[in-house]
Amino acid sequence: MLNKIFDISIAINNFWFILSGLGYTLGVALTSFVFGTILGFILVLMRRSRFRFLRLIAMFHVSFMRGTPTLVFLFLLYFGLPFLKITLPALVCALLCFSIASSAYISEVLRSAMDAVDNGQWEAAMSLGMSYRQTLQKVIVPQALRIAIPPLSNVLLDMIKGSSLVAMISLPDIFQNAKIVGGREQNYMTVYILVAIIYWITCLLFEQGQRYLEKKMAL
C-alpha cells in the first residue's frame, strides 16, 4: 500500500531529472522578484505623488493585478498576444507575468513599511535641509527595509511556489519535469510528493536566508 503512494525507486531514478528544472523555477522567481521590487517601488512613489493621474494609474495597477489570477495574465501574454501578431518566447512571458503581477503585492508591502516609519523622521530630515530624494534614500528606505523584510520574504516564497504555473506554457521547470515523469511512469502520486518535498526544502533554505537578513539588519 505504501509503495503505491510513494514508490521510492521511481523517486530515486527520476530525482535528478526533476531537479534539473530547479534552474527555471528559481530563475523565474528570483528574476521576477527583482524586477517586481523595482516596479513596486516606482508604484509606491506614484502613489505618493502630488499628481492625481499618477496615483490613479498606480492604484488601478495594484487593484487589477491583485484581483485577477496570475494564470489568466500568463495566458494572455502567451496565448493572447499572438492574435495581435506579437509572439514572445515562453520564458519572456513568464518573467513579464510574474514581474508585473508581483509588483502589485510588493508595492503594498513597501508602502505600508514606509508609512510605518515615524513622520518625525521626515520632518527631521527636511529640517536638516535634505531634499525629498535624499530623505528617501538615506533616512526612510533603510528603516522601511527592516520592516519590509518578513513580508517581502513571504512574497518571494509565494513566487517560488507559484512559478509552477510556467509548466502550463511548457517551460521545463520542476513541475513540468514531474508531469513528464508522472506520465511516463504512470505514477503521479510519487512524483508530486517528491516535487512537494523539493519545493518545501527550497523554501526552508530561503527562510534561513530571511532570518539571517533580519538579524543583520537589526544590528
What kind and span of H or E run contains 182? helix 174-185
Strands (E), the chain: none
In the structure, what pLDDT confidence band is assigned to residue 219 with cuts at 50, 70 and 90?
low
Average pLDDT over residues 154-173: 93
* Global confidence as pTM: 0.91
pLDDT score recorded for residue 119: 78
**All residues at 6 or more sequence positions from 57 whose CB lies less than 8 Å from its CB, including other chains:** 46
Mean pLDDT of 35-62: 93
Local confidence band at 175 (pLDDT 50, 70, 90 cut-offs): very high
Of all residues in the chain, the percent with pLDDT exceeding 70 is 98
Residue type at 129? G
| pLDDT one-digit tens code per residue, 111-153 | 998 888 887 777 787 788 888 778 887 888 888 888 899 899 9
Q: For the chain, which residues make up each domain, given as ranges?
A: 1-21+172-219, 24-169
User: What Rg value do the Cα atoms of the chain yield, rounded?
Assistant: 21
End-to-end alpha carbon distance in the chain: 52
Average pLDDT of the residues in 169-183:
92
Q: What is the dihedral of CA 216, 115, 73, 180, to 10 degrees?
A: 20
Distance in angstroms (rounded) separating the CA atoms of residues 177 and 167: 8
Length of the chain measured in residues: 219
* Cβ 191 vs Cβ 178: under 8 Å: yes
pLDDT of 218 higher than 80: no
CA distance 192 to 181: 10
pLDDT at 38 over 80: yes
- Rounded to 5°, the CA angle 65-66-70 comes to 65
| CA–CA distance, 128 with 165 (Å, rounded to integer) | 49
pLDDT tops 70 at residue 36: yes
Q: List, for residues 75-84, the tens digit of each pLDDT value.
A: 999 999 999 9
CA-CA distance, 66 to 122, in Å (whole number)? 30
pLDDT at 55 (0 to 100): 93
Torsion of CA 136, 138, 143, 149, to 10 degrees: 80
Task: Give the whole-angstrom CA distance, residue 55 versus residue 82.
Answer: 32
pLDDT above 90 for 214: no
CATH class of 24-169: mainly alpha
